[in-house]
A and B are shown apart, each in its own frame.
Chain A
Amino acid sequence: MKVVHSWLKEYVGESLPNAQTIEDLLNFHAFEIDGVEEVSGETVIDVDVLPNRASDCLSHRGIARELATILDTTLENDPLAHAPQLEATDSITVSIEDPQACPRFTASLITGIKVKESPQWLQARLKALGQRSVNNVVDATNYVMYAMGQPLHAYDADLFPQSEGKWQFVVRYAKEGETINLLSEGGKAEERIVELNGTELLIVDGSSDTPIGLAGVKGGSYARVHAETKNIIVEAAHFHPTLTRKTARRLGIVIDASKRFENEPSRELPPYGQSEIIKLITDIAGGKCEGIVDEYLEKKENPKVTLTLKQTNALLGLELSIDEVAKLIARTGSTVEVHEDSLVAQGPFERTDLHIEEDFIEEVGRLYGLDKIASVVPATTLITTINARQYYGEKIRQCLLGLGFSEVVTSSFHKKGKIQLQNALASDKSYVRGNLSKNLHQVLDANFSHTDMLGLRDVRVFEIGTVFSKSDTAITEHLSLALGVRTKGNGFTAPDERLLVSACDALEELLSTSLAWDKEKGVAELNLSEVLEQLPEPTAYEAVPEKAPMQYQSVSAYPAISRDIALWVTEGTSADDVLSVLNAAAGELWLRTDLFDEFTKDGKTSFAFRIVFQSMDKTLTDDEVSKNMEAVYKEVASKDWKVR
Chain B
Amino acid sequence: MQTSTGHQHPMTRMIAEINDIFSKIGFEYAEGPEAELEKYNFDRVNVPKDHPSRDMQDTFWFKGKDAVEPTVLRTHTSPVQARYLEKNEPPIKIIVPGKVFRNETTDATHEAQFYQLEGLYVDEGVHLGHLKGTLEYFFTEFFSGKTEVRFRPSFFPFVEPGIEVDMKLLEGNSKQVGKWIEVMGAGMVHPNLLKVAGINSKKYSGFAFGMGIDRLGVMKYGVEDVRDFYTGDLRFVNQF
Contact = CB atoms under 8 A, between A and B. Distances in A.
Q: How large is the interface on B (under 10, 10 to 19, 20 to 34, 35 or more residues)?
A: 35 or more
Contact of A473 (B20, B67, B121, B173): B67
B190 A456 contact: no
A538 B74 CA distance: 28
B224 A554 contact: yes
Contacts of B60: 421-424, 429
Given A245-B50, A356-B160, A423-B60, A370 B153 contact: yes
Contacts of A362: 153, 160-162
A454 interface: yes
A551 B173 CA distance: 10
A439 B161 contact: no
A420 B66 CA distance: 9
Contacts of B237: 406-408
Nearest to B164: A32
Given A381-B93, A412-B99, A474-B69, A397 B12 contact: yes
A315 B188 contact: yes
Contacts of A410: 230-232
Given A404-B4, A455-B1, A457-B1, A409 B12 contact: yes
A544 B16 contact: yes
Interface string A465-479: 110101001111100
A378 B163 contact: no
Interface string B136-180: 110000001000011111110100111110000000111000000
Interface stretch (A106-114, A220-228, A443-451): A443-451
A371 interface: yes
Interface in A50-73: 50-54
A383 B205 CA distance: 20
A380 B221 contact: no
B56 A51 contact: yes
B62 to A, nearest CB: 5
A57 to B, nearest CB: 11
A311 B230 CA distance: 45
B90 interface: no
Interface in A248-263: 262-263
Interface string A219-250: 00000000000000000000001100110000
B73 interface: yes
A397 to B, nearest CB: 6
Given A381-B91, A385-B28, A409-B9, A450 B234 contact: yes
B51 interface: yes
A28 B153 CA distance: 7
Contacts of A547: 13
A442 B232 contact: yes
B232 A446 contact: yes
B221 A552 contact: yes
B3 A374 contact: no
A384 B142 CA distance: 23
Contacts of B3: 404, 457
A422 B51 contact: no
A393 B12 contact: yes
B211 to A, nearest CB: 16
A470 B129 CA distance: 44
A34 to B, nearest CB: 12
A421 B63 contact: yes
Given A370-B128, A374-B132, A474-B71, A454 B11 contact: no
A27 interface: yes
B50 A246 contact: yes
A375 interface: yes
A155 B162 CA distance: 43
B34 interface: yes
A429 B3 CA distance: 36
Given A397-B12, A551-B221, A371 B150 contact: yes
Given A366-B161, A405-B6, A439-B232, A375 B129 contact: yes
Nearest to B190: A358
Nearest to B20: A544
Interface in B8-54: 8-9, 11-13, 15-17, 19-20, 23-31, 33-35, 50-53
Given A51-B56, A370-B151, A470-B66, A477 B35 contact: yes
B107 interface: no
Nearest to A27: B152
Contact of A453 (B51, B105, B235): B235
Interface centre among B4, B6, B128 (most CB of A within 10 A): B6
A393 to B, nearest CB: 7
Most buried by A among B23, B144, B149: B23
A387 B128 contact: no
B183 interface: no
A187 to B, nearest CB: 26
Interface in A303-344: 311, 314-317
Interface of B: 1, 3-9, 11-13, 15-17, 19-20, 23-31, 33-35, 50-53, 55-56, 58-64, 66-69, 71, 73, 91, 93, 99, 101, 103-106, 112-113, 121, 125-130, 132-134, 136-137, 144, 149-155, 157, 160-164, 172-174, 188, 190-191, 202, 205, 221-224, 229-240
Ranked nearest first, the 3 interchain pairs of A and B with the lowest CB-CB distance are A317-B129, A381-B26, A317-B127
Given A409-B9, A550-B240, 15 more contacts: A32-B152, A51-B155, A362-B160, A371-B151, A373-B129, A373-B151, A375-B149, A377-B134, A377-B137, A381-B91, A423-B59, A439-B232, A461-B234, A468-B34, A474-B66
